[in-house]
Amino acid sequence: MIFRDKMETLKARFSELSISIADPTIVSRQEEWKKLVKEYSSIEPVVQAYNEYVALESEMVECSEMMKGDDVELAKMAEIEYYQTREKRDAKEEELKVLILPQDPMDSKNVILEIRPGAGGEESALFGQELLRMYKSFAERLRWKTEDLELSETELGGIKEAVLMIMGKGAYSKLKYESGVHRVQRVPETESQGRVHTSTVTVAVLPEAEDVDVEINEKDLKIDTYRSGGAGGQHVNKTESAIRITHLPTGIIVACQDERSQIKNRDRAMKILKSRIYEFLQTQLDKEYAENRKIQVGTGDRSERIRTYNYPQGRVTDHRIGLTLYSLQEFLAGDMFEITEALALADRNKKLQSEED
């Protein structure tokens, strides 16, 4: 009954929206009209599926009536059709349950992905570089664009910190499960005894926060400029183009020094800052958001160990869903699809279970 009530409410809302978006008075108010059209578009596939569901139920009623008739042959045919239709109806109901699940409003956003070494020293920094290449390759397979917002490397080619922008449709929906601690087990290049070491890298995935998502008061910012670090030589930066921005209310600090232009570094730093502030506000102040996170796969907490990459065995294991693949090199080359899809499916199933409870 609850399911049908939800569907009837949605159907009634769809009818209201159909009238509203055709109203010249509302059309003249473009911002309001755009919001209503967006809501209409999101509800439309649900209403269409529900209409199909209702039609299948009507067919079942007709078949049930025919089964009670005096014509034995016709009753048998009606019985067969009844059970076939019921299977279709049940499948449509499952489809509808998925369609009406609460959607993460951030799913369509671009992503700011941050990678930092954890335990393991230089080996951790080197594996961080491997993960950076993996995410870039994954993005390339989906024809998404990437941009290095910040990249600080060690002398051996590892990373001290990497901040990557990934731009593409549904980027956050596919990458949001990557937040957490990634563990690597392998023999480091610097290990002379051939012993397997365990190191960790921390990944944080933030939806790109736009101006409408986060308002920042310039008075709340402390902006410092300094000279970018570098290897020296003719390309050493002799001007103070590097930027460090501190958001005083939250204490969040962002520094960018990759560009030689102070303006470009400031623009990049502000992009990162907005996303970090957005994440901070969501997790600290929005109780409803926090509750939604609890029913997702994992918590997205940066301290949670989510995955192990074992080189000797050639395997990658996602601990949240207990899935192990023996295709480590392919995975690191960007073929992450089996695990990302399995995580999304597990998340959906948890939400369905939560709705039923």
- SS3 letters across the chain: CHHHHHHHHHHHHHHHHHHHCCCHHHHCCHHHHHHHHHHHHHHHHHHHHHHHHHHHHHHHHHHHHHHCCCCHHHHHHHHHHHHHHHHHHHHHHHHHHHHCCCCCCCCCCCEEEEEEECCCHHHHHHHHHHHHHHHHHHHHHCCCEEEEEEEEECCCCCEEEEEEEEECCCHHHHHHHHCEEEEEEECCCCCCCCCCEEEEEEEEEEECCCCCCCCCCHHHEEEEEECCCCCCHHHCCCCCCEEEEEECCCCEEEEECCCCCHHHHHHHHHHHHHHHHHHHHHHHHCHHHHHHHHCCCCCCCCCCEEEEEECCCCEEEECCCCEEECCHHHHHCCCCHHHHHHHHHHHHHHHHHHHHC
With a CB cutoff of 8 Å and minimum separation 6, the contacts of 66 are: 74, 75, 78
Angle between helices 2-20 and 30-67 (to 10 degrees): 140
Does the reported pTM lie above 0.75?
A: no
Domain ranges of the chain: 2-99, 111-212+304-353, 218-284
> How confident is the model over 166-210, as pLDDT tens digits?
999 889 999 999 999 999 999 987 676 778 999 999 998 988 876
Whether the predicted pLDDT of 301 surpasses 70? no
Residue 200: strand pairing partners: 183
> How confident is the model over 53-66, as pLDDT tens digits?
999 999 999 999 99
In this prediction, residue 356 has a pLDDT band, given cuts at 50, 70 and 90, of low
- Which class in CATH covers the domain with range 111-212+304-353? alpha beta
**Mean pLDDT estimate for the chain:** 85
Q: Are 256 and 265 in contact (CB under 8 A)?
A: yes
Query: Could you count the other beta carbons within 10 Å of the beta carbon of residue 209?
Result: 24
Lowest mean pLDDT among 19-28, 219-228, 289-298: 289-298
Q: Are 150 and 113 in contact (CB under 8 A)?
A: no
Q: In what order do the strands lie in the sheet with 221-226?
A: 221-226, 242-247, 252-256
With a CB cutoff of 8 Å and minimum separation 6, the contacts of 229 are: 242, 257
Instruction: Give CA–CA dist 190/244, Å, rounded.
Output: 34
Instruction: Give CA–CA dist 341/332, Å, rounded.
Output: 16
Report the first-to-last Cα separation within the chain, whole angstroms: 15
User: Encoding tokens for residue 60?
Assistant: 């079942």
Same topology, domains 111-212+304-353 and 218-284? Answer is no
Per CATH, which fold does 218-284 belong to? Double Stranded RNA Binding Domain (3.30.160)
In this prediction, residue 86 has a pLDDT band, given cuts at 50, 70 and 90, of very high
* Strand duo 315-318 + 323-325: pairing: antiparallel
Give residue 242's identity as a one-letter amino acid code.
A
> How confident is the model over 124-148, as pLDDT tens digits?
999 999 999 999 999 999 999 998 8
Top-confidence residue, 86 or 206: 86
| Look-up of token digits 């460090």 | 244
Q: What are the φ/ψ torsions at residue 286 (nearest 5 degrees)?
A: -95, 100
Whether the predicted pLDDT of 290 surpasses 50? no
Residues 258-284, mean pLDDT to the nearest whole number: 78
Q: What are the φ/ψ torsions at residue 211 (nearest 5 degrees)?
A: -55, -35
Residue 355: strand pairing partners: none
